[in-house]
Structure 1
Amino acid sequence: MRAIRQYEFGPAENLRYEEVEDPKPGHGQVRIRVRAAGVHLLDTSIRKGIGGGPMPLPTLPMTPGREVAGVVDELGPDADASWLGKRVVAHLGAASGGYAELAVAPVTALQEIPDGVTDEGAVATIGTGRTAMAVLNEAKITAGDAVLVTAAAGGIGSFAVQYAHNAGAFVIGLARGQEKLAIVRELGADLAFDYSEDNWADRVREALGDRELTVALDGVGGSQGEAALELLGVGGRLVMFGWSAGKPPELSAMDFYGRGLTVSVPIGQRMLRVPGAMRALEDQALAEVAAGRIMPLVNEPIPLAEVARAHTDLESRRTVGKVVLRP
C-alpha cells in the first residue's frame, strides 16, 4: 500500500509518500480500507516535534493521522465477524497510522457510519466533532445567549455556529476573508466579522447594542482570545479549546472577580480522565450529523500524496472546515 512516512521532526516536507507493507490486524482489531483521513492541527504540532498536548510525541519513523473512515476489509483474531464489509469511522488515538490506504484499528474504536453521512463528513465528526461537543456541553448554550465563535469557519467553529443557531442563540462568527464570512453566515451566524480588521471588536460591541455577550467559544487565543474575553458581559462564560495563534490569552484573577466571569477548558486531559466520555461524545456528534442538525464543513479533499500542502494550508489558515486527505 501507499502511506505517508515521517522519519524526523520538522517541516511539512518531511512527510514522505512511500510504498510500505500492508498492515495486518492483531487480536481484537480490524483493517480499514481508508476512503478519507482527517488532518488535525495537532498533527502539525506532532510533525514539528512539539509536545505538551494530549497526545505524546511518537517514536519515529511513523505514519501520522488519527482519524479514518472507510470499509473494514480484514478481521484480526477475536474480532466480531459482523464488522467485515461495514462502513466505519475510527479515531486511532496515539497509535496513529491514518495517512495511508490501509489502517488498523481496535474494534472498540469503531463507529458504524450512519446512512446519509459521507466518509469525509464522518471523519470530520469522529475527532473534531467530539471535541466540539465537549466544548458545547460545557457552554450550555440556550436561546437567551449571545454567542461569539472565533475561527468560525474551522472544523470546531463551524460545528459550534450551527449548534448555537439551532439552540436559538444570537450567534456572531469571526473568520478571515469574504469567502469564509459568507460560509459562516450560511451556517447560521446572525453576524460575521473579519478578525484581521483592527476594529472587529468595536464592530461586535456596536452590533450587540444593549445586548450583552454571554458566551465566547475561543480556539484562537492570543490577542483575539483576549478581545473575546473583554467583550463578555457580567457573568459571561469563556470556553477555550486551543490557541491556533500560538499562545493562550493572558488572563488575570481580576477578569473573574471584576465581572463574575467563568473560564473553562473542557478538552485535553479533562476529556480523557472519565472512562467512556470520548465514546459518548462521538455518539453525540454522530447523532447530530445523522439527524441533519449539523452539516460537517469539509475542505475540498486533498490527495494523500499532497499531504505537505494539507499541513501547510492548515497552518496558514487557508482552509475552510475540516481538512481531509483522500488516499
Structure 2
Amino acid sequence: MRAVHLHAFGPAENLVLEEAPDPSPGPSQVRIAVRAAGVHFLDTLLRTGARGPLPEPVALPTVPGREVAGVVDSVGEGTGPEWLGKPVVAHLGFAPGGYAELAVTDAARLHEIPAGLDFAAAVAMIGTGRTALGIVRFADLGPGAVAVVLAAAGGLGTLLTQYARNAGATVVGLAGGPAKTARVAANGAHHAVDYTAPDWPAEVRARLGAAAATVVFDGVGGDAARAAVALLGPGGRHLVYGSAGAPEPYAVEGVSERVLGPAMTTRTGGPNAARTLEPRALGEAAAGRLTPALHRFPLAGAAAAHHALETRSTIGKVVLEP
C-alpha cells in the first residue's frame, strides 16, 4: 500500500508518500480500504513535535491521521464476518495510521455509513460533526438567540452555522475575505462579515441593531475573539474549543461581567461522550440537516493540505482521498 510517513518533526514538507507493507487486522479488528481520511488542525501540531492531548509523545516514524472512511476488506480473529464489504467510518482515537490506502482499527470503533452519505462527508462528521454536536450542548440556541461564529467557513464553523440556523437563532458568520464570506452566506448565515476588514465589529453592531450577541463560538482566539466577545450582551456565553486554546482573561472593560463563563468542551462529558455523538452526527448529515463543507486533496497532497490548514486558506473540512 501507499501511506504518508513522517520521519522527522518539522514543516509540512516532511510528510512524504511512500510504499509500506499492508497491515493485517489483529483480534477483534478490521482492515479498511480507505476512501477518505480526515485531516485535523491537531495533525499539524503533532507534525511539529507538539504532544497536544496525546498521552504519550508521537513515536517516529509515523503515519498521521485519526479519521478514516472506506470499505472493510479484511477482518481479524473474533470479528464478525458481516463487516466484510461494508462501507464504514471510524475515529481511530489516539492511534495514528489514517493517511494511507489501508488502515486497521478495532471493530468496536466502526459505524456503518448511512445510505446517501459519501465517504468524505462521513469522515467529516465522525470527527468535526461530533465536535459540533458536543459544543452546541453548551449554547442556548433558539428563537431570540444571536450566535456569532468565528471561522465560519471552516469545517466546524460550517456545521455550527447550520445547527444554529436550524435552531432558530440569528447567525453572524465571521470569515476572512470575500470568497469565504460568500460561502458563509450561502451556508445560511444571516450576516456574513469579513473579520479581516477594519472595524468589523461596528459592521456587526450595525447589522444587529438593538440586538446583542448571546453566544460566541470561538475556535480562533486572539484579537478576533476578544472583539467578538465584546459583542455579547448581559449573560452572554463564550464557548472556546479547538485551536483557540485556553480562554484569555477578558481585557475589555465590562466584558467579564457580561459573560457567564467559557466552556471547554474537550474537558467535559466523560470518556464515552464522543462515541455517543458519532452516530448522531452521521444521522444529522444523512437526513440533510447538517451538510459538511469539504476541501479535498489527493493522498499525495498531504503536505499541501497541512500547509493550507496552517495558512487558513481552506474552506471546510480537509480530507485526503487515496
| TM-score clears 0.5 | yes
Q: Note if contact 1:56-1:94 (Cα within 8 Å) is conserved in structure 2.
A: no
Secondary structure of the corresponding residue to residue 72 of structure 1? strand
Matched, 1:158 2:158: yes
Residue 266 of structure 1 aligns with which residue? 265
Q: Note if contact 1:242-1:248 (Cα within 8 Å) is conserved in structure 2.
A: no
Residue 323 of structure 1 aligns with which residue? 318
> Alpha carbon RMSD of aligned pairs, Å?
1.6
Amino acid in structure 1 at the alignment position of 2:294: V
TM-score of the aligned structures, taking structure 2 as reference length: 0.96
Matched residues in 2 for 1:113 and 1:52: separation?
29
Amino acid in structure 2 at the alignment position of 1:11: P
Matched residues in 2 for 1:55 and 1:320: separation?
30
Residue 288 of structure 2 aligns with which residue? 292
Matched, 1:106 2:102: no
Matched residues in 1 for 2:206 and 2:10: separation?
44
CA deviation vs aligned residue, 1:176-225 (integer Å, no higher than 9, x gap): 12121111111110001111112111111121111111011010001111
Matched residues in 2 for 1:145 and 1:55: separation?
38
Matched residues in 2 for 1:127 and 1:3: separation?
21
Residue 250 of structure 1 aligns with which residue? 248
| Count of aligned residue pairs for this structure pair | 321
Amino acid in structure 2 at the alignment position of 1:317: R
User: What runs of 5+ residues in structure 2 fail to find an aligned partner?
Assistant: none
CA deviation vs aligned residue, 1:17-42 (integer Å, no higher than 9, x gap): 10010000001100000000110000
Residues 138 and 54 of structure 1, relative CA distance in 2, 3 Å threshold: farther
Which runs of structure 2 are paired with 1:1-327 in the superposition (5 Å)?
A: 1-53=1-53, 56-243=56-243, 248-252=246-250, 258-267=257-266, 269-271=267-269, 274-299=270-295, 301-327=296-322
Q: Note if contact 1:89-1:110 (Cα within 8 Å) is conserved in structure 2.
A: yes
Residues 220 and 59 of structure 1, relative CA distance in 2, 3 Å threshold: same
Matched residues in 2 for 1:136 and 1:54: separation?
24
Amino acid in structure 2 at the alignment position of 1:22: D
CA deviation vs aligned residue, 1:218-275 (integer Å, no higher than 9, x gap): 100011111111110000011111335xx655224986752253321112x435xx14
Q: Note if contact 1:129-1:156 (Cα within 8 Å) is conserved in structure 2.
A: yes
Amino acid in structure 2 at the alignment position of 1:140: D
TM-score of the aligned structures, taking structure 1 as reference length: 0.94
Secondary structure of the corresponding residue to residue 172 of structure 1? strand
Matched residues in 2 for 1:326 and 1:252: separation?
42
What is the identity percentage for the equivalent residue pairs of Structure 1 and Structure 2?
Answer: 51
Offset, 1:94: 1.2
Matched residues in 2 for 1:28 and 1:65: separation?
21
Matched residues in 2 for 1:50 and 1:140: separation?
34
Secondary structure of the corresponding residue to residue 78 of structure 2? coil
CA deviation vs aligned residue, 1:136-192 (integer Å, no higher than 9, x gap): 112131122000000000011000000000011100000112121111111110001
Residues 74 and 12 of structure 1, relative CA distance in 2, 3 Å threshold: same
Matched residues in 2 for 1:179 and 1:105: separation?
38
